[in-house]
A and B are shown apart, each in its own frame.
Chain A
């Protein structure tokens, strides 16, 4: 058996199978009393208003994160292309945040915007904004999106820079000679040609926001205030490891697994064909 197959079996199929089995059990935390309940946990989870709320939170969070991370990255990439001197330094500095662990990124933003000790929170308050992410759900979400997007900007930046370099200079020059201004050239030539990159990044960013941001949520808001920032992944953790309701938690992770499979299928079917890595 090929070693990679063994690794896949041990690290993917086995735990996935366990999750699937656990999702049909109702069990006390210690595993002393177990009852096989078929799909009761799924029915319960899907009927739970807290879970539906969590879906809504996740959609808002993922879209906001993807849009902010991609928008800012595109702007920076376009600027980087224009830079005459220090292009290399500029790029290196922009790629740096990608190396920061999610929890650390979360802590950084938490410190900056902590209502008591944060320097940026102080600035906001002196501008007359009643900044309070501890009680205001919108503020908490803004903080979370900022931290998550900030970390992803580097990655997007890299791809956009590569994408921009692939746009034929001749096309842009021709348009310029026809009298098209800079903005017009960007929206009618550069942006459409970047579409495959943009679509690819949209999928990658959504997956990132969905599954890779646990550390940030855990460090920054812990799902609060109320349940305003409890994403699907965070709810799996909270229900399973804090509230010790293993069946519900397993059912939720199986649902997440289905979402991942669907997203991966979309990516292979529509994105892989159109993106040129060459």
Chain B
């Protein structure tokens, strides 16, 4: 298998060399982490782009999961073999931003090729997240998602809950979950994927409370976590209490909980809007609601922050290659391309024009709920608490948070202890990462 991979690599390289010399077409490499239906979207977009012009050839290469792709990109850079474009997930954004000498801001790529990057055409929440504090656009938003609430209508019916009105606040979620469990409609009331992303990062943004100092790290510098504020403690204590009798069921650190919901074990579920495909495929009688908010928060609901991934351009490439990358990004911004990407993959459209066009086409009337994540993200102008979170070592900080939350859910510590520990350990890790 390994040998085959090596042989294929050699063959590919040879082909690559020969085509370059024969046709003088500039190759643009794009390393991505998309699988299944989303990988088909990548292939189709690349093919269409290549067919639309004759100067550049975009070559998409699948590199594994999000973390694997990021690692492959970093290792390739260290070996002097970086691709032109690398897809990096939201959590890796801080890592890329800290590597100023390694990347070239998308804004510079576009202006260098004689094009302009008109930020006003893109969804503001997404553009803000992928920009430097001074507003320079650093990476191109490719696939963005937002956490939403899913519920099983059959279980709601059995539990005597209102099938057409999903819970809007966390207190309503807890009540509904208890009712589901008590009525025997399902063995558990509520489950969730990605506790760190949904219950900490988006919880803070959606309720307009601070996740960390320095605009949640977006302004850079010394960042200190704020996640042990009372509103977080109360929220997690409620979750921990529900976990005791199984009303809340923990699935794992990433998207494992989806299986629990799909199996019909739990009635309510929070997960990325990008997870819709599997739920549709399962044939479940499901409903979609907004991400619940906390009634103790004055500004709630504010807006959610983007998850998903963006495309980064590596530095030290030839002008010709940058022109090709710019041409591709311009192509990717076209309304019909964005419309296709949005409707096929379930990710958000990144341009306003594509959103309007999708709305006009009646897509949201036929697919209610598909608009929910967009409305959540764009409903209000983002505040300092809701532009997103950014740390040079977010993967590590999320790990720390997961570890403390797991101990809390296992009943070994209270929410206050868990969040205090997460803050202490997280701050130490951030400080150290900044020293490097």
Contacts and interface: CB of A to CB of B under 8 A. Distances in A.
A241 B71 contact: yes
Interface string B224-268: 000000000000000000000000001111000001100101000
B95 A244 contact: yes
Given A29-B74, A222-B253, A243 B393 contact: yes
A217 to B, nearest CB: 15
Nearest to A227: B403
A224 B95 contact: no
A245 B393 CA distance: 9
Contacts of A134: 250-252, 406
- Kindly name the residue among A29, A116, A135, A238 whose own CB sees the greatest number of chain B CB atoms within 10 A: A29
Interface string B394-408: 011001001110110
A272 interface: no
B275 interface: no
B396 A245 contact: yes
Interface residues of A, number: 25
Nearest to B411: A135
Contacts of A116: 251, 259-260, 263, 265
Contact of B406 (A30, A225, A242, A243): A225
A136 B433 CA distance: 31
Contacts of A225: 403, 406-407, 410
A239 to B, nearest CB: 8
A243 B78 contact: no
A19 to B, nearest CB: 15
Chain B interface residue bracket vs A? 20 to 34
A249 to B, nearest CB: 12
A226 B413 CA distance: 12
A219 to B, nearest CB: 13
A29 B82 CA distance: 14
A244 B253 contact: no
Contacts of A30: 74, 77-78, 99, 101-102
Contact of B99 (A28, A117, A136): A28
A267 interface: no
A135 B406 contact: yes
A53 B124 CA distance: 45
A27 B99 CA distance: 12
A33 interface: yes
A151 to B, nearest CB: 20
Nearest to B188: A116
B114 to A, nearest CB: 29
Nearest to B71: A241
A192 to B, nearest CB: 44
Contacts of B435: 26
Nearest to A222: B253
B98 A135 contact: no
B102 A135 contact: no
A29 B395 CA distance: 13
Interface in A28-67: 28-33
A117 B263 contact: yes
B410 A31 contact: no
Interface in A15-31: 26-31
B393 A28 contact: no
Contacts of B407: 225-226
A226 B404 CA distance: 6
A117 B100 CA distance: 46
Contacts of A244: 74, 95, 393, 395-396
A265 B250 CA distance: 45
A196 interface: no
A117 to B, nearest CB: 7
A248 to B, nearest CB: 9
Contacts of B101: 30, 32
A26 B95 CA distance: 16
A135 B78 contact: no
A244 to B, nearest CB: 7
B369 interface: no
A155 to B, nearest CB: 23
Contacts of A33: 436
A227 B259 CA distance: 24
B99 A29 contact: yes
B405 to A, nearest CB: 9
A71 interface: no
Interface in A200-230: 222, 224-227
Interface in A238-264: 238, 241-245
A125 to B, nearest CB: 10
A97 interface: no
B67 interface: yes
A243 B260 contact: no
Nearest to A114: B259
A26 B102 contact: no
Contacts of A28: 98-99, 436
Contact of B403 (A27, A29, A224): A224
A274 B410 CA distance: 48
A135 B246 CA distance: 12
Given A224-B402, A226-B407, A243 B395 contact: yes
Given A28-B436, A134-B252, A243-B396, 4 more contacts: A30-B99, A224-B406, A245-B393, A245-B433
Of all A-B residue pairs in the complex, the 8 with the closest CB atoms, nearest first, are A225-B406, A243-B396, A135-B410, A30-B99, A30-B102, A226-B403, A32-B101, A31-B78
Interface of B: 67, 71, 74, 77-78, 95, 98-102, 250-253, 259-260, 263, 265, 393, 395-396, 399, 402-404, 406-407, 409-410, 433, 435-436
Interface of A: 26-33, 116-117, 134-137, 222, 224-227, 238, 241-245
12 contacts: A27-B436, A28-B99, A30-B77, A32-B99, A32-B100, A116-B259, A134-B252, A135-B406, A137-B410, A225-B407, A243-B396, A244-B396
